[in-house]
Structure 1
Amino acid sequence: MGKNEKIIVGISIGDYNGIGSEVILKTFQDSRMLEFCTPVVFASVKLMSFFKKEYDMEINFHGIDKIEDVIHKKINVLNVWKEPIEVNFGKEEAKAGEFAITSLKASVEALKNDKIDVLVTAPINKSNVQSKSFSFPGHTDYLAKELGGNSLMFMISEELKIGLLTDHVAVKDVPGTITRELIEKKINTINKTLIEDFGIIKPKIAVLGINPHTGDNGVIGDEDDTVLRPTIENIRNNGKIVLGPYAADSFFGSGNYKSFDAVVASYHDQGLIPFKTLAFGQGVNYTAGLSKIRTSPDHGTAYEIAGKNQANESSFKEAVFAAIQIYKNREEYQLYAQNPLKVTAKKEYSKKNF
């Protein structure tokens, strides 16, 4: 990235029958966004022009066929296909899933090769994207394979950050999936991302129990006592501030989460229900633990309102801002790691959180 150039934000189009196109256009219809970044939408000019007309928006695109032709202060649309597409808002179609993955693969390839700086993904439908060439539960698993590292679904907002021990795992399989090794790996990833990506020097992390009331001394399951507690104690003995397990039912209602920099939930709904209740519309899904930065909004395709010009772009816009800030925080952390004297002590290299 040149000295006077903006961070290049790659954007995968997601399911074009959903609201992804609408929140992308609404986000960048505000020309001030181009002061923060240079967007590149991986789709086709024809498709984006259709959406522009459909939503009656005053917005201009710069169509390109090669990523090297990106122009800063423009909304770039990289043609990753040129064939015409029939959009059927609100419909789950195999073709829409196919093109969503075409966009995703092209954008991830650009990310791997440093042609874009960060990636923001519009929502896909986990059902219609399945094929012989793509058999992943969602973005996170695919990105982990392509980019390497210890991937973690990390839901972030200004007031709340929640990481998951298990994400797209059936509830019946959760206890057997949570091992000491998994707990240590996920908590280490959260601790690392809080330091390097969010500028929190000494993170304080809470861990929620696996069973109701953290097992009630073995009455409602013994996993909290035999697996979770001893692992947390071991991590704490190694110098990290990790507390728990806490009973999940009262943890958020009591406001206890406000005392921590991040919360670790044992399974998907234990973490995402309170997160979406407290932060919906302002939250961001961040794939932590990877060498590259990917964010997405905290909602899905929303077929029920697709094409009706009713979608709220707030979460997508927050995902763009989060990706930009995390990129800057990582740069500053690397500068600090190389030469602490170059970063003033009063910043503790960066105190700006989301």
Structure 2
Amino acid sequence: MEKSIVNNDNKFSVKGFGASGNLINGKSLKEMDIVRDKPKSDEVLIEVLYCGVCHSDIHQVNNDWKNTRYPCVPGHEVIGKIIEVGSEVSDFTKGQIIGVGCMIDSCQVCESCKNGEEQLCLGEHGATMTYNGYFNDPESDYNTFGGYSSHIVVNKEFLLTLPEKLELSSAAPILCAGITTYSPLKKAGIGKGSKVAIVGIGGLGHMGVQIAKAMGAEVTAITTKKEKQEEILGLGADKVLISDDKKDMEANELAFDFILVTIPYGFDINPYIPLLGVKGSLVTVGLLGDYEKPLNNMEVAKFNRSVGGSLIGGIKETQEVLDFCAEHNIAPEVEMIKIEDINNAFDKIKNEEVRFRYVIDMSK
């Protein structure tokens, strides 16, 4: 894919891979021209070097959440090089390698933003997501295009510094998979002595296992994949529980203080509730839709358990997880691909054939 920029007044055109959503090109990704606004005084222009492939990208391209704006150019796990800085940008310099996660802007003045939780922005449009426009304004036709492109424009407040210890080619998934699992684990106060279960050991779950273990928890990985047991133990899990094994599940009732479920599609939550101890809590990440079956609140109420959800994390917290991963030598397990192979990668993710995470190498 070309990395040239074609300028036109206050806009410029670059190459990207996206889905048009129309009847001719459907929802598969094809090379296309993307028109972007030139950087404002508080923004930077970034050349994309690496971009992680998230399961959310597939959901968005396929309009699974019924909010996709086409053309849809995914990608919200970006490692890139700054090639132009606005006049108000002082903390970042031309040539610097930086990270960009799931957001590129927000109102920056509401209570949530001031508290470092820009993902919960209470402004008129909510957070400006890296792709697919505004998060909580379905009536708007405003669109943004993500990291499956040669260049991207980002507000300076949404840039992330990469610790030297992190390998650039594999660090991208920390910007979504890392923060998505780190944030609820941190908010739950996970530490030494905590008994934690991570359900679903894919792109999100394999990061959750490593992060929870580094926090000091005793970590059990829950999966349907018996063949992945040794690999999962290699991530640092203390134990692997097969969710299809009814006896094993019953033997672990009341065993966990906290359960993090990373399954990205509708599933039955009820089998996991009995695994929680008294006043234990379960948080679902990655699923932006209905559970497969209604929640049986009897199981929740009788031991004063709680069930909740979590959406990525703020910029300060995302910087925290980057630093945390560097400090504890945590790295996503990735397979590098070319952007031209993205449709094949999508198919393999849907068929659960990817090991953990794909990263697009756009550095060449």
Question: Scaled by the length of structure 1, what TM-score is found?
Answer: 0.30
Q: Which structure shows the bigger proportion of residues in helix conformation? A: 1
Q: Which structure shows the bigger proportion of residues in strand conformation? A: 2
Higher relative contact order (CA 8 A, sep 6+): 1
Question: Scaled by the length of structure 2, what TM-score is found?
Answer: 0.29
